[in-house]
Amino acid sequence: MPVSSTPSSDSQPDRNRPAARRRGSRFTVDRDHPGYKWVALSNTTLGMLMATVNSSIVIISLPAIFRGINLDPLAPGNVGYLLWMLMGFLLVTAVLVVSLGRLGDIYGRVRMYNAGFVVFTVASILLALDPMKGSGGALWLIGWRLIQGVGAAMLFANSTAILTDAFPAERRGMALGINQVAAIAGSFIGLVAGGLLSEVDWRLVFFVSVPFGLIGTIWSYRSLHELGARQTAKIDWAGNVLFAVGLTAVLAAITYGIQPYGSHTMGWLNPWVLGGLIGGIALLIVFGLVENRVSDPMFSMGLFKIKAFAAGNLAGLLSSIARGGLQFMLIIWLQGIWLPLHGYDFESTPLWAGIYLLPLTIAFLIVGPISGALSDRFGARAFATGGLLLVALSFLGFLLLPVDFNYWAFAGLLVLNGIGSGLFSSPNTTAIMNSVPASRRGSASGMRATFFNSGSSLSIGVFFSLMIAGLAATLPQTLRGGLLAHSVPTGLATDISNRPPVGSLFAAFLGDNPIQNMVGAKTLATLPASDSATLTGKEFFPRLISQPFHHGLVIVFSMAIVMSLVGAGASLLRGSKYVHNDADEARPDGQSTQPSLANAH
């Protein structure tokens, strides 16, 4: 049975109005033109692709970037630079998307989106022109990555709302599907692009965004129009501050929680980490209470009364955490273990890791738009729920693979995961955006993006912590035995084995062989030539860490399976096919404008 919906005036322009095109006008396509929605789709897809490529392109390029600024990220005191290069961009986008989405509702979604292109492009230029070396160069990159994250947050927060305004309800699944495919595929495409560009020059990793940013900026300013009705509302300063400080405290605490503290392998007992977690959670609780009492909240808590919205965001959060964990674990697995065992130099592993992950990207790119279009007709529940079940099945398959796997079995699981992710992402986003009133689309888009980006940030803390816990149980003994077997003095071998395993984990993540730094050039020079060559060769460290890594991998992927299954359960409970009827917002009785089920099927 087809879904009926009452078009809102803001999403369906009056076709009887005179065309807006004029000679000399800055617009290239009129807002009433039948092709305008495709202009909106292509431009917002470019924006989402550019932003998400940059969220992952740095991950794979970190070795080249740190070599380029002459900084060893694994040296004592430098791990913080590594973590903030990873987390800064994700943290800013997670914190700001709701506020910027709400500002889009008030001041114009296109206006905020266009400004995002400008900020992102300027930051990309300055990142590529980093004039310093060492810690100064790292701080320059971290600072401008934070600014770049502000621009990305403007794009994230408003692109989905712009599309929802431009497309009728019966076509949104296809449009949002393409947009979401770009968003998530960008995180995988960035891995390949980073590997390729960092082989040439690390500055290209940042400069590659500049031409796309310039094109997108000019194009968006010339072509996009405000279709959504703006709200007259006050800025919720209290809510903005409470949310920003609370979420920043939590995510920053998680970032530092995976670093060693005193004699502990991780920093979860560090008073500053505990203070950040407890204080941040307390502020977020206060934020929730405040938002229920202010007249114009930034975070529309009432939207969570809509089952499709609440269930979709819960499923999206859990899926994002699991997907982020998969990405990091596969990079460590390929760069630190599998590729060196198969003869690849450590310096070339970032490039080949991206190439070997292509089956995941290709499967996602094919399935995502198809599932989005089909969800327009059949609803989101079956696709989204089935997709997360396939994702859980792929995690089980990865868990059962040996560390030195057959690539075709590995590629098959990548394809399965890509199909599952494609089936889930587009329909889930469409269901969320279809369920909310037109006047709240900017806020809803920002809230959805917050869960998406927070999941990516949380995945670093959650899965790195689980992996470090797994390594701590077996790596010290394995490391000590391997060093003693190759003539390393007992005292030094014992000292190295007692060091926190986070260093070995980050070395594997960077595709680096840390043994030379651990043992030291002077000691290596005193060892028999064969032992020295073995310790610094391609296979010693990967074979040494293989079994401890697999022990940690079992813990990590078991948790990912649980998250995917819980997300599938939430998706199943979202209800049947539903599109919000904006006519309900115009009720004369002045009652709450929560959507009815009049057009749910």
Q: What is the pLDDT of residues 332-354, one digit of tens each?
A: 899 888 998 898 887 778 778 88
Spatial separation of the C-alpha atoms in residues 378 and 1, rounded to whole Å = 9
* Domain definitions of the chain by residue range: 36-235+296-471+548-581, 236-295, 472-547
Looking at residue 4, its pLDDT comes to 39
Looking at residue 7, its pLDDT comes to 40
**What are the CA-CA distances from residue 226 to residues 105, 111, 177, 197 (Å)?**
11, 8, 22, 37
3-state secondary structure 586-598: HCCCCCCCCCCCC
78 near 262, Cβ under 8 Å? no
The CATH classification of domain 36-235+296-471+548-581, taken from the options 3.90.1170.50, 2.60.40.1260, 3.50.50.60, 1.20.1250.20? 1.20.1250.20
Looking at residue 400, its pLDDT comes to 92
- Per the model's pLDDT, the better-predicted residue between 583 and 285 turns out to be 285
Q: What is the pLDDT of residues 526-543, one digit of tens each?
A: 889 898 888 888 888 888
360 near 414, Cβ under 8 Å? yes
Confidence of residue 11 (pLDDT cuts 50, 70, 90): very low
Looking at residue 397, its pLDDT comes to 95
Confidence of residue 230 (pLDDT cuts 50, 70, 90): low
Residue 570 has φ and ψ, to the nearest 5°, of -65, -40
Confidence of residue 281 (pLDDT cuts 50, 70, 90): very high
Percent of the chain with pLDDT over 90: 19
359 near 156, Cβ under 8 Å? no
Looking at residue 456, its pLDDT comes to 76
Looking at residue 32, its pLDDT comes to 57
Q: Model-level pTM?
A: 0.76
Confidence of residue 136 (pLDDT cuts 50, 70, 90): very high
Looking at residue 15, its pLDDT comes to 41
Looking at residue 141, its pLDDT comes to 94
> Which residue, among 60, 73, 308, has the nearest Cα to 202 in the 3D structure?
60
Looking at residue 29, its pLDDT comes to 56
Spatial separation of the C-alpha atoms in residues 23 and 509, rounded to whole Å = 56
User: Residue 21 pLDDT more than 50?
Assistant: no
**What are the CA-CA distances from residue 154 to residues 10, 112, 161, 366 (Å)?**
21, 6, 12, 27
Spell out the residues 6+ positions from residue 247 whose beta carbon is closer than 8 angstroms to its own. Answer: 94, 95, 280, 284, 454
Give the residue-averaged pLDDT of 245-252. Answer: 85
Paired tokens of 339: 């590729």
Q: Share the mean pLDDT of the chain.
A: 80
DSSP of 431-449, one letter per residue? HHHHTS-GGGHHHHHHHHH
Spatial separation of the C-alpha atoms in residues 250 and 272, rounded to whole Å = 11
